[in-house]
Amino acid sequence: MIPGGESTTIGRLMQEFRLGDKILERAAQGMPIWGTCAGMILLAKDIAGSEQYRLGLMDIRVKRNAFGRQVDSFETDLDIEGLGQTRGVFIRAPYVEDCWGGARVLCRFRDIIVMVEQGRQYLATAFHPELTESRDVHRYFLDMMRI
Ligand code: GLN
């Protein structure tokens, strides 16, 4: 799990403590990874207008702070493919501007991509399922790993 937070800070620490290299090593061996919000940014190959550190494991281009500032954070109902309705909490969230290759869109909010999976190994959510009572997305991630 790569949690939310500040992707530039998490990325800097990943570099400084060489955690990023370790994660990439394990990912190459098949370790599943789910990134939420800042975690999604760190999984992306492309970050619009930014050169910041990233793991670059998913075929997605993300836009940071794409819904506005902290005060523009919001909650909404989402409809996720293969999962159904869930509640989405967006906190200064990014969204996915584009995806290609192995990335598959699982959820859009008003035409905007907010959840993507890749190869049954990587999952990215722009929102925070850990801030709701529902465990549906957590269960989805576990099922994904089982194949
Ligand atoms: N805005 C943060 C970033 O760009 C992400 C916010 C979050 O993880 N809730 O890294």
Query: Residue ranges of the domains in the chain?
Result: 7-146
DSSP notation for 65-108: TTT-SGGG-EEEEEEETTTEEEEEEESS--EEEEE-TTEEEEEE
Which whole-number Å values give the CA distances from 92 to 19, 83, 105, 107, 116, in the listed order?
25, 24, 21, 18, 18
Residue type, 37: C
pTM: 0.96
Mutate to test the pocket of ligand 1, among 14, 43, 91 (most ligand atoms within 8 A of CB): 91
Distance CA 19, CA 22 (A): 5
Topology classification of domain 7-146: Rossmann fold (3.40.50)
pLDDT digits (tens, 9 = 90+) for 43-54: 999 999 999 999
Cα of 145 vs centre of ligand 1, distance in Å, is 26
**pLDDT for residue 146 is more than 90:** no
Please list the residues that pair with 75 across neighbouring strands: 89
**pLDDT for residue 11 is more than 90:** yes
Residue 53 per-residue DSSP state:
-
